Amino acid sequence: MGANKEQDAEEKAPKKSNRIFTILTRVVWILFFCAILILPLYVYTVSIDLFGMYGGMPSLKALENPENDLSSELISADGETLGRYFRYNRSQITYDELSPELVNTLLSSEDHRFYDHPGIDFRGLMRAVVGKLTFNYAGGGSTITMQLAENLFNTMTENEGALYNVAGLREIIIKTKEWIIAVQLEQNFTKQEIIAMYFNTVSFGSNSFGIKTAAETYFNKQPSELNYQESAVLVGLLQGTTTFNPVRNYDNSLAKRNQVLGKIARHEHITEAEMDSLRELPIDLEKYSVANQNKGLATYFRTVITRDLLAWCRENDRDLYEDGLKIYTTIDSRMQAYAEEAVASHMAELQKVFIDHLQGRDPWIDDEFKVIPNFAESRFRQSEHYRLLVEKYGQDSDSIMIIAKRPREMKVFSWEGEIDTVMSPLDSVKYYKHFLQTGMMSMDPHTGHIKAWVGGINHKFFKYDHVRQGKRQPGSTFKPFVYGAAIEYGYPPCYEVIDSSPVFKVPDGTWSPPNSDGTYGTGEKMTIRQGMARSVNTITAYLMQQIQPENVVEFAHRVGIESNLDAVPSLSLGVSDVSVFELVGAYSTFANLGLYTEPYYITRIEDKNGNILENFVPKTRQAMSEQNAYKMLYMLRGGVEESGGTSVGLSYDLKADNEIGGKTGTTNNASDGWYIGVTKDLVTGTWVGGDERSIHFRNWALGQGAKTARPIFDLYMQKVYADDSLNYEKGPFPRPSEGIDVSLDCSDYQEEESDSVRTVEPAWDPDAIQ
């Protein structure tokens, strides 16, 4: 009986096992079929955001035309990037602009099966799932395409649905969205386009978004120039822009770079020996530079042009900081560099002369050369710092001046480099007011293209632009407008005038201008060309008296001066404020045979895809005849060619085989030194002076334009002519198409000798001159 029971049990055991197996098999098949049915249904419900449970998905249009904020780029005439305008410093590139080393590095480190999957790497995904379940995580399952989906559409932070608050579901839904978007991206773009889009959308730290900006920031290279060790540093940053930042955490970055190099070798893009060699190299950060408006070329120009660009964007419904505009300018990066070098070289030396001549005295002085009391305190009260202190403590609080006089650590400008020092805010005002400033602009007179713009000595510490924003008395650089008006009234360059100060009737009596040496004339007879060349005040004043101030004002405005001019006798000596920008534009009228071409600096603006949004052309007008304009060029050449001319001191190399016109200018107390130089292809203006008119050399000879401003023109032009790539050559000014209507050779005029004084009888009736 017992044996039978045992036998029955043995027979029932297999049957029971078979039933369990059958049940389990059915369960598995049921789960499998459920998965087959439910998973697509789940994915579908996510894609349509059923009942708002999952949050919205990007539209088909958004997927086909994904956008991200792009910095707008300011581009020089020779194709160099001058600067960017951005909220996030990002610029677009295409796949063709990526080096093969960079692409290989990315794929080796982030997604080596990129070309084998449809946007979702199921092997990588399973590895990630198993790793999480076994607490042996060996990397995520996100592909480059899935990461791009997050970068473009912010799946982790935007469009959250009702189920996002359910524990454990948030991450599943986010990943599902990335899978869906990744597959759709793969259907709409090629693999190469996806790689380029990915590089355009990732952050690399140090205010650099996208590979183009990152390559420029860390290595001053374009993405096409990156090698394996540089690529490994940048791709390593994708794992942590702070943790693996080579500037902040060099050792971490070096270790990550070497790890990435190992992956590159593992996938056989480099050999083991090459890997070992590259791992021995340090990370070269010598050219590391975070973009900002105080660095790079043309810093003042970039600030000035911003106002124009913002106005254009408002009118055209564009965003300067996000739309990825390409702004093409007339600035030539090589000429801009030469201008900045010339300014820095001369101004550093001039500053030494200025400080030495002060002999410890303060530079702010009144008309009687006495130091202005409480000058620094009054200027501090005009500062933003003072305004903030008043807001905090009140207008009459003693705390304001206590803080103003309290020393603190600060970084200050010097010509030897920035200095870390301890100084009170009040003392810093005194310190900075000792520096001489400058403004310089160089322009092609035939096209109106501004080729170089230097608005000051250092944009980081001195924001004020002295090219267009600043206006000062031009002194003798205004005289050519008096002579130009006289030329139009019939006075030829050979017309002779006696060096004797004329008398003007003015509201409070009479006025007679002295010459720069304080005398009222020598009685010497000279041609008006000689008078302008030597900058003789009495000769200019004589012509002003003959043709009247209002006619000079009309002429100056016609050839390019825009500022208000006082129609008074002293205008002949340049008493009305003008800018470097205006003077260069007006002198260019002479160099362009009477055709005024408004100075301009934007040639065209394109959208991020290269479509032209607007072309810009300068305004022009025939301001004077070709013959009279050429006569003015001949007059300006007198400064170089006539004995005693104020441009005779230009370098021999600059003058040799070249026609140059030039005019110096200096105000009475040497507050302002000017020089305008004219060649056949370029007109360049420079101004030098203190931040305020009261800050100047105590010695007029030291502060005159020939000493303060002319050397900048000289240095700049030598650099321009030495650069063969610029195609600026020496040579004569172009002649009028119909010839010259008067002789410029004074010996052609009827001459009479009387008491050893040469007289010239003009070939016209002087009484006919109005």
* Continuous segment of H or E residues that includes residue 62: helix 60-64
pLDDT score at 758: 34
Record the pTM.
Answer: 0.76
Mean pLDDT for each 10-residue chunk of the chain (770 residues)? Answer: 52 59 64 60 53 55 58 92 77 89 92 83 59 51 80 58 57 68 80 89 83 90 94 92 90 94 94 94 86 80 92 92 92 98 97 95 92 93 89 89 92 93 94 96 97 96 94 96 96 94 91 90 93 96 96 97 96 96 98 96 94 95 96 97 95 96 94 97 97 92 95 98 96 92 79 37 36
pLDDT score at 702: 95
pLDDT score at 347: 97
**Number of neighbouring beta carbons within 10 Å of residue 726:** 18
Residues 6+ apart with CB under 8 A from 413: 419, 432, 435, 458, 460, 461, 462
pLDDT score at 188: 81
Distance CA 599, CA 446 (A): 10
pLDDT score at 197: 85
pLDDT score at 429: 93
Amino acid at residue number 664 = T
Amino acid at residue number 511 = W
Helix, strand, or coil (residue 412): strand
Q: State the helix-helix crossing angle for 479-488 and 537-547, rounded to 10 degrees.
A: 40
Distance CA 270, CA 395 (A): 69
Distance CA 675, CA 711 (A): 9
pLDDT score at 160: 59
Report the Cα 398 to chain-centroid distance in Å: 42
Distance CA 589, CA 561 (A): 11
Asked whether 605 and 327 are in contact (CB, 8 A), the reply is yes
- Dihedral angle at the C-alpha atoms of 333, 337, 340, 343, nearest 10 degrees? -130
